[in-house]
Amino acid sequence: MASFQEAISSAVKTQATRRGLAYKDIASTMQISRSNFWRHLSNKQLWNSDDFEKLAAALGLHNSWELLRLAQNEQELASSQERTA
């Protein structure tokens, strides 16, 4: 089962792809370095609640709750794929 952190990262990747957003642009909007963003995205550094609102805005979402719902959906997808594998 995907961890919460992995689910957030997966939601970020999915939403970035849907909207055609470059990771460097998301990092810039969040006002963090690209390397710091990449550490988060690769689950080497934990996302924290302070990141969620900035991250949601950078991804074109209405608020952090929408980001968390996307992460929950990603976690459910990962879980169902594990069960069918």
Q: Cβ atoms within 10 A of the Cβ of 15, count?
A: 21
User: Residues 45-81: pLDDT tens digits?
Assistant: 999 988 999 999 999 999 999 999 999 998 888 778 7
Please write down the long-range contacts of 26-32, taking CB distance under 8 Å and 24 or more positions apart: 26/55, 26/58, 26/59, 29/54, 29/57, 29/58, 30/54, 30/55, 30/58
User: Residues 13-42: pLDDT tens digits?
Assistant: 999 999 999 999 999 999 999 999 999 999
* Total count of domains within the chain: 1
Domain span at residue 33? 4-84
CATH of the domain at 77: 1.10.260.40
